[in-house]
Amino acid sequence: MRAATGQAEGLSEKEGLGERRFPGRWWLPEPKGSEPPAHGTRQSRLDRLAAYFHALPRAFQADIDRGRLIVWASLAYCCGIALYFRLDFEPSLPAISVAVLALAPVSYMTHRGGRSATMSLLALSLASGLFAATLRTEHVAAPMIERPRSVTVTGFVESVQPTKSGQRLQILVSRIEGLRQENLPDRVRISIRGTESVPKVAEAVSLRARVAPPPGPVIPGGYDYAFRMYFEGVGATGYAFGRPQPASIGVAPLRLRLMGALERFRHGIAERIRARLGDGPAGALAVALLIGDRSGLDEQTVDALREAGLAHVLAISGLHMALFAGAVFAGLRAALALFPPLALKYPIDKWAAGAALAAATFYLVISGASIATQRAYVMIALVLVGRLLGRRALTFRSVALAALAILILTPEALVEPGFQMSFAAVIVLIAAYEEVTRRRAGREEPVGMPPGLALRFLKAIFGGFAALALTSIVAGTATGLIGAYHFQRVAPLGFLVNVLAMPLVTLVVMPFGVLSIALMPLGLEGPALAVMGEGLDLMVAISQKAGDFTPGDGLVGAQSAAGVLAAVVAGLALCLFPVGYRRLSVIPFLAAAVLMAAFRSPDLYIAADGSSLAFRDGAGELKVAASRLNFEASTWLRADAVPERQQIDRRLGREDWNCDRLGCVGRAHGEVGAAAAMPITVALVRRPAALEEDCRRADMVVTHFDAPRPCGRLAVFDRSVLNETGAVSLKLRQTPDGTLAIAARAVARSPDRPWGRIQPQ
């Protein structure tokens, strides 16, 4: 069967079909023995379109026959996981197990029988994804604290993470005052103030703390901290009243003792780096790049990198792993090549690949093994193993295997921004370079004298910058949309900044960082770290200068989830469809554009505990009613594309809000164009004494108490309602008949899902 070069394959003369080439490099079938309609006629266009779609299944089958089945199977597996997390109820594990067991022999028999096993394998992959996510949820299930309480927590320190004001301890629980053993959560996270007397990993501690269930999303559809904590086995979060004290509860588990030894090793590397580069941005960035510890980075540096589009440098991913392992491979191979007896008699290429694989494993261990690093490690390992076996490994199949390797063990990673952005970048890069390679293969080389040395040098320089530009454009576009949805931020100057800064990272920062790690056992890392620090200082300067020219800190506000999903589908179609059919991706692209254009931010936000809210005033600006600019208020304003330096100005003043010690009353508006026609009166009640009057006079009442019924002319959000809904967002609009319509969206943490059973108190 021919390789696909822009054609839909699978058509032959034996089937009674001829072939005819039409514009756009599509091979379209035409009934043999019939006269083709005249070009340009309506019948001709319809026949060509019908033939085009008629050949679509065979085009897909041709792609699958070339080894793409694992790619589509992994996508089906991802869809099964996504389906599980979108359900409002917990599916039955036995029922899903039966479905998987029933589909497995069907898929096997269709394959053995010589029939197309594609659909049966995709169905099996979908069911397997659903099964893996359900099984994972069952496996990590552990009790959670049901309500806030002050208790004494005793256990072993599992991790220590620096924060702005102190440290955050994750404790493997041994006992909690007032809780029976069967009700104990596996882990708790507790923040302590200060940096003195900080316990180390694997130490036994006891401390007095205020703990509560992990909070849910601040905005419907936003980041769900409780979801993440559930899958990490954390059943409570809180803060300590004092310093941790040593506890006598025996010896820590072996796993924690090994983690403690690894943490001390990583801490030793970090101290060596800081001793040479200091505690400034260069030292903190070097530690973040080499061992994955970002705790020393200040907010100004991180924000500058985000605004400039260089935040991906902080994630130890494919670039870092490739440079780390690639430097070991190239260096060792070059060193061995200096000895002709070795180079001529032994497979030094395979020796270098084995050493690079060991180096990549070492880097994975010391860097913290985040999702992006795991993906990069699997990809690099496949490439190096392919080198050992003499096979090419950097393909969509290797990406599919990397995704499966991660998602089989941790299906919840699919909904994490790091996983999505990491795999989106590598998929579009492989697709882009495959297209470049395909176009080059079809281009005829000029006949004549070979180019001179100077011309070859210029072509190499131009090719390097062209590759860097292509990488920045396609990877930035793929990750930018996902980043805009999760973080409400884009980097408009990201392309230019990456072209300027990434050569520094590729040619200076990472190579000398790798060299410094190699020289540390000899105590000779100083010069290499000095060069790395100079490169990092220049990178920070570039990002800060770019940040000065980035309007509004790059904030774009909340995005349409449906629009982003449609764009992801379009991107997958553009990258993975058979070549002649990739233009079909324009359909979901248009759908994404329409959905995003129609999307508008909510007009009113209500906190899950009813203590604060935000609403749009008559000028269309979102104002917050909160005692201080807390995390919830900052998140609401960020979703409305308000930069942090302007957020303090969005606190409600007396002209917007009538407040006293009992509560506040104000007017909320909808769309600016119809603001005069539909303001509503909103009351935020802080004392029970104001409930009766505000329930009678206000259109909407918000309170963290239980309100009497009826209350409010339109709606009431009190403790009983918010315990069921969680945080709420509302959109106000005027209908054609002049009445007010309210579209509400709630977090609605379903009690049928394990991570949503604990309701706010």
Across residues 387-404, what is the average pLDDT? 78
Alpha carbon of residue 214 to chain centroid: 21
Average pLDDT over residues 440-457: 62
Give 753 or 107, the one with higher predicted confidence. Answer: 107
300-336 residue pLDDT tens: 888 888 888 887 777 666 667 777 788 788 888 888 8
pLDDT score of 340: 83
* pLDDT at 444 (0 to 100): 56
C-alpha to C-alpha distance for 639 and 488, rounded to whole angstroms: 6
Label residue 593 by pLDDT band (50, 70, 90): very high
Is the pLDDT confidence value at 33 over 60?
no
Contacts 24+ apart (CB under 8 A), 648-655: 650/621, 650/622, 650/623, 650/624, 651/623, 651/624, 651/626, 652/623, 652/624, 652/625
Listed residue (744, 740, 702) closest to 720, CA to CA: 702
Q: Which pLDDT score, from 0 to 100, does residue 567 have?
A: 93
Instruction: Please give the share of the chain, as a percent, with pLDDT higher than 90.
Output: 17
Say which residues have a Cβ less than 8 Å from residue 563's Cβ, sequence separation at least 6.
591, 592, 593, 594, 595, 596, 599
Radius of gyration of the chain (CA): 30
Confidence band of 23 (pLDDT split at 50, 70, 90)? very low
Dihedral over Cα of 743, 746, 751, 754: its sign: positive
Q: Express each pLDDT in 143-157 by its tens digit.
A: 888 888 999 999 999
Least confident residue range of 371-385, 555-569, 687-701? 371-385
The pLDDT of residue 34: 45
Residue 67: DSSP 8-state = I
Q: What is the dihedral of CA 44, 50, 53, 55, to 10 degrees?
A: -80
Q: Which residue has the higher pLDDT, 757 or 164?
A: 164
Query: Whats the size of the chain, residue-wise?
Result: 761
pLDDT exceeds cutoff 80 at 115: no
- Given a cut of 90, is residue 589 above it in pLDDT? yes
Instruction: Check residue 59 and give its pLDDT.
Output: 84
Q: Which helix (H) or strand (E) holds 29?
A: strand 26-31
Whether the predicted pLDDT of 399 surpasses 90 = no
Range 149-252 classified under CATH 2.40.50: yes
What is the band of 761 on the pLDDT scale with cuts at 50, 70, 90? very low
Q: What integer pLDDT is reported at residue 132 of this predicted model?
A: 95
How far is Cα 212 from Cα 579, in angstroms, rounded to an integer? Answer: 54
pLDDT band at 188; cut points 50, 70, 90: very high
As a whole number, the mean pLDDT across the chain is: 81
Nearest to 623 by CA among 678, 673, 713, 684: 684
Angstrom CA distances, 104 to 76, 319, 678, stand at 15, 38, 58
* pLDDT value for 41: 62
The DSSP bridge partners found for residue 660 are 663
Angle 417-441/371-389 helices, nearest 10 degrees? 40
pTM above the 0.75 mark?
Answer: yes
Q: Write out pLDDT tens, residues 723-744.
A: 888 888 888 877 776 666 777 7
Taking the CB of residue 291, how many other CB atoms lie within 10 A of it? 22
**Average pLDDT estimate for 116-128:** 87
Q: Name the nearest CA neighbour of 120 among 66, 64, 81.
A: 64
Lowest mean pLDDT across 38-47, 354-363, 633-642, 667-676: 667-676
pLDDT band at 749 (very low <50, low <70, confident <90, very high): low
User: What confidence score (pLDDT) does residue 174 get?
Assistant: 92
| Distance set, CA 356 to CA 376, 513, 515 (Å) | 14, 16, 14
Output the pLDDT for position 751.
Answer: 64
* Nearest-angstrom CA–CA distance, 481 and 413: 19
Kindly give the interhelix angle for 526-548 and 510-519, rounded to the nearest 10 degrees.
Answer: 150
Check: CB of residue 419 under 8 Å from CB of residue 406: yes
Mean pLDDT is lowest, of 395-404, 523-532, 563-572, for: 395-404
Report which of residues 547 and 649 the model is more confident about.
547
CA–CA gap between residue 335 and residue 103 (Å, rounded) = 53
Counting residues of the chain whose pLDDT is more than 70, the rounded percentage is 85
Task: Please report, as a single letter, which amino acid is at residue 409.
Answer: L
Q: How confident is the model at residue 452 (pLDDT cuts 50, 70, 90)?
A: low
End-to-end CA distance of the chain: 65
- The average pLDDT across 746-752 equals 65
DSSP letter at 250 equals -
Q: Which among 490, 548, 635 has a CA at the least distance from the CA of 304?
A: 548
Q: Has residue 629 got a pLDDT over 60?
A: yes
pLDDT at residue 24, as a whole number: 38
pLDDT for the residue 2: 38
9 pLDDT above the threshold of 50: no
| Residue 71, CB-side half-sphere exposure with 13 Å CA sphere | 22
Instruction: Flag the least confident range among 39-43, 75-79, 455-459, 664-668.
Output: 39-43
The average pLDDT across 203-223 equals 89
Residue 267 has pLDDT above 70, yes or no: yes
